[in-house]
Amino acid sequence: MKIPKRLARFAWPAVALATVLTVVGVVPRFSFSRDGAIWSERAPGSAPVAMTQAPAWVEIAKTVKPAVVNVSVRGVERKAEGPAEELMERFGRSPKRTLRGMGTGFVINADGYVVTNNHVVDGASEIRVKFSDGRELVGKVVGQDEKTDLALVKVEATGLPVIPMGDSSKLEVGEPVMAIGNPFGLEQTVTTGIVSATGRTIGAGPYDDFIQTDASINPGNSGGPLVNTRGEVVGVNTMIASGTGGSVGIGFAIPTNLAKPVVSQLAQSGHVVRGWLGVSIQPVTKDLATSFGLPATTGALVGSVSADSPASRAGFKSGDVVTRYDGKAIERWSDLPRAVAETTLNRDVPIDIVRDGKKMTLTAKIARLEEQDKRAEAATEQAATKLGLSGRTLTPGLAQQLGVSQTKGVVVEQVEEGGRAQNAGIATGDVIVEVDRQPIAGVEGLQQALKRHPTNTPVLLLVHREGRTLYVSVA
């Protein structure tokens, strides 16, 4: 499955664009100061593109296409590794292949800031951004965020045409939208469709909140804008679900309300700092709601609490159901990670939970996510040393990606050639769920079990593999 990586539209000269924008009533203004925003917005009092019985797609296309650019990249060949990358290939998003080709981006600020997908520019040694007037400028990556698959690229230019960023929270299912891109190298292709769904969680990352659309998106569309009937970007086209490599009417876009804070941080510091609570969560199904005595399936069910985390210090326990975070209701379980990620560090946040049928409020001081990442990475390296493998903690989202029923364990991502694990038959994609007949919740549990295991004796692992469970003895 090829990644949808290209969008191409060239920018009209600034004077011509200003004329067109004035005619159709879309006059953006630019701001670097308001809340750190670098994207454009409509001038106060300006009218959107007029609509009567049908969207004015012709005028909208004329307005926004000049700000859609062709991003061509060159780089080294990178081979896909591990089950997470294999999953991304299933969704038409294989970021670790030969980096030579074209993707898409769109200008969000007149001074040369271009938004695209991270997988379009990740690992690229050369980036060139081409505009409709024939200019081809060198692009430089300002910042990248792998977790949301967003990147910000800068070109040395001023007075560029831009597309205003809209409010994706106002999108409704059935609403018409337009996608613009460079599918299969066919530059500046415009397709239209509707919003098929919002809030899609497909296991692509910890902050899944995709817009699903049936507007035709194909390889080459990645990084391009999904535009509403007001001529505003409401999503960044990023992947497709397809068994053929082409569009089957199931495309996904990152909503702008998720992209805005990420883009702002990338512009300011080149990276994204996120909050960390320290819990693994899962959806509250009807059966679970009945078992826990809950009146509805809203909220996020806590599966485990990380040691020495903000959650553990606040008194969280497995089985707690988070219903409100910082005064805002948690309607879907996936709302919680995004809310935590956007929280200011070291801030005390009230969190409402239900425990054993009783409501209570806990207060957690949110820490920095990267600190947890480093601890997990260190534990993974130790696991590789002990058994000749490396992996990561299985989460409900990753379990969904891999299609496994377990929600706890360690997913094997690499196996050392000629090492103990390989000799025992352990393979990439295996999920280790027990060590010496004791269940493990993740990498930390694996490490503790290996420390307790007697030296110079085989380690008994219970492994889930392709729908079956088997014991493996690692000598």
Q: Is residue 8 part of a domain?
A: no
Q: What whole-number distance in Å separates Cα of residue 205 and Cα of residue 285?
A: 21
Q: Is residue 372 part of a domain?
A: no
3-state DSSP call for residue 87? helix
CA 390, chain centre distance (Å): 23
Please indicate whether residue 255 or residue 334 has the higher confidence score (pLDDT).
255
The pLDDT value given to residue 247: 80
Q: What whole-number distance in Å separates Cα of residue 141 and Cα of residue 124?
A: 9
pTM of the model: 0.65
Looking at the fold, whether 91 and 228 belong to one and the same domain comes out as: yes
Looking at the fold, whether 43 and 128 belong to one and the same domain comes out as: yes
Looking at the fold, whether 164 and 219 belong to one and the same domain comes out as: yes
The mean pLDDT value for 161-176 works out to 95
Q: What is the CATH number of the domain that holds 318?
A: 2.30.42.10
Looking at the fold, whether 305 and 416 belong to one and the same domain comes out as: no
- Residue 116 backbone dihedrals phi, psi, to 5 degrees: -150, -175
The structural domain count of the chain equals 3
The pLDDT value given to residue 241: 83
Q: Is residue 3 part of a domain?
A: no
Q: Which residue has the tokens 């490599």?
A: 245
Looking at the fold, whether 72 and 206 belong to one and the same domain comes out as: yes
Domain that holds residue 202: 14-269
b/e 35-46 (16+ beta carbons within 10 angstroms → b):
eebbbbbbeeee
3-state DSSP call for residue 369? helix
Looking at the fold, whether 283 and 309 belong to one and the same domain comes out as: yes
Q: What is the pLDDT of residues 37-70, one digit of tens each?
A: 777 766 555 556 555 556 799 999 999 999 999 9
Q: Is residue 4 part of a domain?
A: no
Q: What whole-number distance in Å separates Cα of residue 233 and Cα of residue 210?
A: 14
- Residue 372 backbone dihedrals phi, psi, to 5 degrees: -65, -40
Looking at the fold, whether 327 and 210 belong to one and the same domain comes out as: no
Q: Which of 206, 200, 203, 205 is nearest to 252 (CA)?
A: 200
User: 348 and 377 in contact (C-beta within 8 Å)?
Assistant: no
Looking at the fold, whether 386 and 302 belong to one and the same domain comes out as: no
- Residue 190 backbone dihedrals phi, psi, to 5 degrees: -110, 130
User: 367 and 310 in contact (C-beta within 8 Å)?
Assistant: yes
Q: What is the CATH number of the domain that holds 261?
A: 2.40.10.120
Q: What whole-number distance in Å separates Cα of residue 469 and Cα of residue 466?
A: 8
Provide the percentage of residues in the chain whose pLDDT is more than 90. Answer: 41
Looking at the fold, whether 87 and 217 belong to one and the same domain comes out as: yes
Q: Which of 399, 403, 426 is nearest to 435 (CA)?
A: 426
Looking at the fold, whether 455 and 321 belong to one and the same domain comes out as: no
Across 17-21, 272-276, 300-304, the highest mean pLDDT is recorded for 272-276
Question: What's the angle, vertex CA 225, arms to CA 220 and CA 229, rounded to 5?
Answer: 135
The mean pLDDT value for 208-217 works out to 93
SS3 per-residue string spanning 381-423: HHHHHHHCEEEEECCHHHHHHHCCCCCCCEEEEEECCCCHHHH
User: 136 and 157 in contact (C-beta within 8 Å)?
Assistant: no
Question: Which of 239, 269, 299 delimits the end of a domain?
Answer: 269
The pLDDT value given to residue 183: 85
Provide the percentage of residues in the chain whose pLDDT is more than 70. Answer: 79
Predicted confidence band of residue 121 (pLDDT cuts 50, 70, 90): very high
Predicted confidence band of residue 18 (pLDDT cuts 50, 70, 90): very low
Across 124-128, 392-396, 445-449, the highest mean pLDDT is recorded for 124-128
Looking at the fold, whether 29 and 158 belong to one and the same domain comes out as: yes
Q: What is the pLDDT of residues 394-420, one digit of tens each?
A: 877 677 666 677 778 888 888 887 788
Looking at the fold, whether 357 and 405 belong to one and the same domain comes out as: no
DSSP secondary structure of 37-66: --SEEEPTTPPPPP-SSS--HHHHHHHHGG
Q: What whole-number distance in Å separates Cα of residue 28 and Cα of residue 41?
A: 5
Q: What is the pLDDT of residues 137-155, one digit of tens each?
A: 999 999 999 989 999 999 9
The pLDDT value given to residue 380: 58
Q: What is the pLDDT of residues 330-369, one digit of tens each?
A: 998 889 999 999 999 999 999 999 998 899 999 999 999 8
Q: Is residue 370 part of a domain?
A: no
Q: Report the helix count and the strand count for the chain, using DSSP H and E.
A: 12, 29
Catalytic residue ranges: 119, 149, 222
Q: Is residue 343 part of a domain?
A: yes
Q: Is residue 5 part of a domain?
A: no
- Residue 177 backbone dihedrals phi, psi, to 5 degrees: -140, 160
